[in-house]
Copies of this chain bind each other. A is one copy, B any other.
Amino acid sequence: MTSEILTIGDELLIGQIINTNQAFIAEQLNLINIRVARMTTVGDEMVEILDAFADAWQHHDIVIVTGGLGPTHDDITKKAVCKFFDTDLVQNQDVRTHVQEFMNRRNRPWSPAAEEQTMVPRKAEVVWNPLGTAPGMLFAEGDKRFIVLPGVPYEMKEMILHSVLPLLVLLVHDSVIRHKTLRTTGIAESDLSAALGDIDQLLQGARLAFLPSPAGVKLRITVFDTDAASADRKVQEVEGRIREKVEKYIYGTGKEELQEALGRLLLERKKTIAVAESCTGGLILQLLTSISGSSAYVDRGAVTYSNRSKTEMLGVSPDLINTHGAVSREVAEAMASGIRQAAGTDIGLSVTGIAGPTGGTPDKPVGLVWVGYADLSCSLAVKHHFAGTRETIRERAAAAAMELVRRKLL
């Protein structure tokens, strides 16, 4: 069984937007073992759309089309679909009710364009679009499926995840599918893999994807099962076995970022934090304060690029800097203690290092980073060697610093 993804829109052909829909759908189909054999993009041109439909439908079992379902004159996908399947448009009462409620909630008046959205090809089944007004459409011929979705990414994603995938899993595998993502940080992909041990024993039929980024590795569990409750239970079991082995590296699940997980924990524990950054230059503060409501736990921060600023803002003694250098355990600790005292917060956090590409020495190479931590009862510093560009080193350092605080809070 193979599939083709067909994206429609002039804006794609002029390179105005990058086709992220395609990659998203491809990833999701692969997760349920449906091979994507081809991805095609054409513009809002009837002949080219019909050619692409014919080609895809002839060669593949599953065709997923996105784009061109909007209410403007250049959105012709619905017309093309009617031609291709030799059918006409009829009004769908459920869709009409949904579109009316949708417009009412937004205080938008009824319009011919809204009316147009309530029309669905007679031969199609509606694929529900909870987040928009353009209904999705499904055509079936034997085991083949032709599915048409709007191109608006968040509408399309919702429909793929909650309508299309369950339907295809049932069709292809006679089963349901469940995912869960566990987010780790502070451990490399290879070490994580080693720590998880025998992968077959761990998964017992489930699937696991390793998704690395500078801030950490995500583990995505996928389970197919004939029964929903059993699938949920299996995901839980796999998660349990993973947590047994690498619990301390897991900071969150799903889409939760490290700064959100840390923020949540700081709120829960009623702790406040202040940050002193050298090589990360404000990145940690920027990440922490990107969360709405972070003013409840972020009191302040200092970006101390010059040695003098480390002394004046954080009270780091010039002697300490002269003796050990600005990038050292001693200075990292003094920076964390210094910002904590100045701010009167529960926690002080600091980073000092060499982000590069220049400024490294044999003793202190590019990528050397000290992360400092201080609270009422202790202060400490942890040494890291990060690889990568200036940007990557800064991202890794920021993640390591936030993770240190998270671990201390637990």
Contacts and interface: CB of A to CB of B under 8 A. Distances in A.
A301 interface: yes
Contacts of A281: 285-286, 288-290, 294, 298
Given A17-B23, A302-B303, A303-B285, A37 B28 contact: no
Given A42-B37, A299-B305, A24 B15 contact: yes
A261 to B, nearest CB: 18
A15 B275 CA distance: 38
A124 to B, nearest CB: 25
Nearest to A22: B19
A284 interface: yes
B36 A13 contact: yes
A40 interface: yes
B302 A300 contact: yes
A26 B250 CA distance: 41
Most buried by B among A25, A283, A358: A283
A288 B283 CA distance: 11
A306 interface: yes
Given A302-B302, A303-B301, A15 B25 contact: yes
A30 interface: yes
A28 B13 contact: no
A305 B295 contact: yes
Contacts of A25: 15
Given A38-B41, A292-B357, A18 B16 contact: no
B282 A289 contact: yes
A74 interface: no
B39 A41 contact: yes
Contact of A289 (B16, B299, B303): B303
A4 to B, nearest CB: 10
Given A12-B23, A13-B35, A299-B309, 4 more contacts: A13-B26, A15-B36, A19-B22, A281-B290
9 contacts: A14-B27, A277-B285, A281-B289, A295-B306, A299-B305, A299-B309, A300-B306, A309-B343, A313-B313
